[in-house]
């Protein structure tokens, strides 16, 4: 029960990595609010968690993380239901990609709005509540693509790289308030999004690239998030944890 009596927000928590983080946090004693632009999927996620965890304290809120008024309403509901905010996981994101010279400006603009501003807005609105309780933990979900050059998604890579720079800047500014800010960089992870975007053969080749010879599972990312959310990482801030089976350190042929 490493998060007993803590209140956490997980953006994009209706599925995939976000859902795994929300579920793990609830299992560790946290009260969790799932922010998602897909209200029905968020409600389904809450029902799944309640079936798995007895007496789970979890709510679903329809929130567009790129819309400040939507986020304000979500934050207010969290405080109304759970009275405070201790942890924020900025997981909501979209992925659009083409070769760099074919990537339209629209791809850059849409991903900036959701992937970057969708991290900034919830963080700015949650911080005052964390200050009230004497500190907190913000976890930004970046990507392996922020670290290594990969074909076909320059905008996504660049904006996930921006998340890493943002994490360090936030960590410095918020340290006086005992708010820690860290990032997780997942490698290819077995989610619906990955399965819809790749073939079985492509996933096999991705797994082969990893020294650990498998793709990440959402639970692998959730375990890293638990560490960063809990007191186990009380002296860790401004850092990134790469959860990719060793892909970024291996000199192997790309897919």
Q: Tens digit of pLDDT for each residue in 54-99?
A: 999 999 999 999 999 999 999 999 999 999 999 999 999 999 989 9
Nearest to 113 by CA among 128, 93, 143, 127: 93
* pLDDT greater than 90 at residue 252: no
Q: Where are the alpha helices (DSSP H) in 175-255?
A: 192-197, 200-209, 218-229
CA distance 49 to 28: 12
Active site residue: 107, 129, 156, 235, which one? 156
pLDDT attached to residue 194 = 86
Domain segments of the chain as ranges? 7-249
Task: Write phi, then psi, for 87 (nearest 5 degrees).
Answer: -135, 140
Q: Tens digit of pLDDT for each residue in 89-102?
A: 999 999 998 999 99
Report the greatest alpha carbon distance in the chain: 52
Nearest to 25 by CA among 103, 89, 110: 89
Q: Tens digit of pLDDT for each residue in 200-224?
A: 999 999 999 899 999 999 999 999 9
Question: 156 an active-site residue?
Answer: yes
Query: Can you count the helices (H) and strands (E) in the chain?
Result: 9, 7
| Class of domain 7-249 as given by CATH | alpha beta
């Amino acid at each position: 029960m490493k998060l007993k009596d803590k209140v956490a927000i997980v953006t994009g928590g209706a599925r995939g990595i976000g859902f795994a983080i929300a579920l793990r946090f609830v299992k560790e004693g946290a009260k969790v609010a799932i922010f998602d632009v897909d209200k029905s999927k968020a409600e389904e996620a809450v029902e799944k968690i309640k079936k798995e965890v007895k007496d789970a304290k979890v709510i679903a809120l329809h929130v567009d993380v790129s819309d400040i008024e939507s986020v304000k309403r979500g934050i207010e509901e969290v405080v109304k239901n759970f009275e405070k905010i201790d942890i924020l996981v900025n997981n909501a994101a979209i992925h659009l990609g083409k070769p760099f010279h074919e990537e339209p400006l629209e791809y850059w603009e849409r991903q900036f709005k959701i992937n970057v501003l969708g991290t900034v807005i919830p963080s700015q609105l949650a911080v005052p509540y964390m200050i009230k309780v004497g500190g907190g933990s913000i976890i930004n979900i970046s990507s392996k693509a922020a670290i290594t050059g990969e074909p076909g998604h320059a905008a996504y890579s660049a904006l996930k790289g921006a998340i890493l720079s943002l994490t360090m800047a936030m960590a410095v500014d918020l340290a006086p308030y005992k708010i820690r800010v860290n990032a997780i960089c997942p490698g290819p992870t077995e989610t619906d999004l990955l399965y819809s975007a790749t073939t079985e053969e492509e996933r096999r080749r991705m797994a082969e690239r990893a020294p650990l010879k498998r793709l990440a599972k959402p639970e692998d990312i959730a375990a890293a998030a638990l560490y960063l959310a809990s007191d186990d990482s009380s002296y860790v801030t401004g850092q990134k944890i790469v959860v990719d089976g060793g892909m970024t350190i291996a000199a192997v042929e790309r897919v």
